[in-house]
Structure 1
Amino acid sequence: MGVSRSATLVLAFLMIVEGLSLVEAVAAVKPHRDIYPNPGFLQQLRSLDMSLERERRRQRQPKTLGQSTQEDEEETLSLPELRQIVWVNRKPVTAVNQVWPQLYIGDESVARDKTTLSSLGVTHILNAAAGRHRINTGQQFYTDLGVEYHGVEAADHPEFNLRPFFSTAAQFIDGALRKNGTVFVHCAMGVSRSAALVLAYLMIEQRLSLVEAIIAVRLNRDIGPNSGFLEQLRELDLILHQQRRKIRVI
Structure 2
Amino acid sequence: MQENPPSVKDIVKVLYGGKRFGNHVDEVWPNLFIGDMSVANDRYRLWKLGITHVLNAAHGRMHCQGSHDFYGSTVDYYGVPADDSPTFDLSRYFFPSAEYIQNALDTAGGRVLVHCAVGVSRSASLVLAYLMIHHHYTLVEAISQVKECRWIFPNTGFLKQLRALDIELHKTS
Residue 31 of structure 1 is matched in structure 2 by none
The one-character-per-residue Cα deviations of 1:50-103 (angstroms, maximum 9, x if unpaired) are xxxxxxxx5xxxxxxxxxxxxx6x420001000000112342111000000000
Residue 96 of structure 2 is matched in structure 1 by 168
Residue 82 of structure 2 is matched in structure 1 by 154
8 Å CA contact 2:98, 2:133 repeated in 1: yes
The CA distance in 2 between the partners of 1:202 and 1:175, in whole Å, is 14
Name the SS for the 2:168 alignment partner.
helix
Residue 22 of structure 1 is matched in structure 2 by none
Bigger radius of gyration, 1 or 2? 1
1:119 is matched with which residue: 48, 72, 75?
48
1:79 aligns with 2:2: no
Unaligned runs of 5+ in 1: 1-57, 59-71
1:95 aligns with 2:8: no
2:151 is matched with which residue: 202, 222, 225?
222
Alignment of 1:11-160 (within 5 A): 74-131=3-60, 133=62, 135-143=64-72, 146-160=74-88
Residue 131 of structure 2 is matched in structure 1 by 202
The CA distance in 1 between the partners of 2:61 and 2:20, in whole Å, is 31
2:114 is matched with which residue: 185, 197, 201?
185
TM-score by length of 2: 0.95
Residue 41 of structure 1 is matched in structure 2 by none
The CA distance in 1 between the partners of 2:141 and 2:71, in whole Å, is 33
Unaligned runs of 5+ in 2: none
The one-character-per-residue Cα deviations of 1:145-166 (angstroms, maximum 9, x if unpaired) are x111000000001011101000
Residue 16 of structure 1 is matched in structure 2 by none
The CA distance in 1 between the partners of 2:160 and 2:142, in whole Å, is 15
The CA distance in 2 between the partners of 1:160 and 1:217, in whole Å, is 22
**How far does residue 137 in structure 1 lie from its aligned partner after superposition?**
1.5
The one-character-per-residue Cα deviations of 1:92-145 (angstroms, maximum 9, x if unpaired) are 11100000000000000000111110011100000000015451121110015x
**Identity between Structure 1 and Structure 2 (%):** 47
**Higher relative helix content:** 1
1:237 aligns with 2:139: no
Query: CA RMSD for the aligned pairs?
Result: 1.3
The CA distance in 2 between the partners of 1:103 and 1:121, in whole Å, is 11
The CA distance in 2 between the partners of 1:217 and 1:113, in whole Å, is 23
Return the letter of the residue paired with 2:160: E
Residue 213 of structure 1 is matched in structure 2 by 142
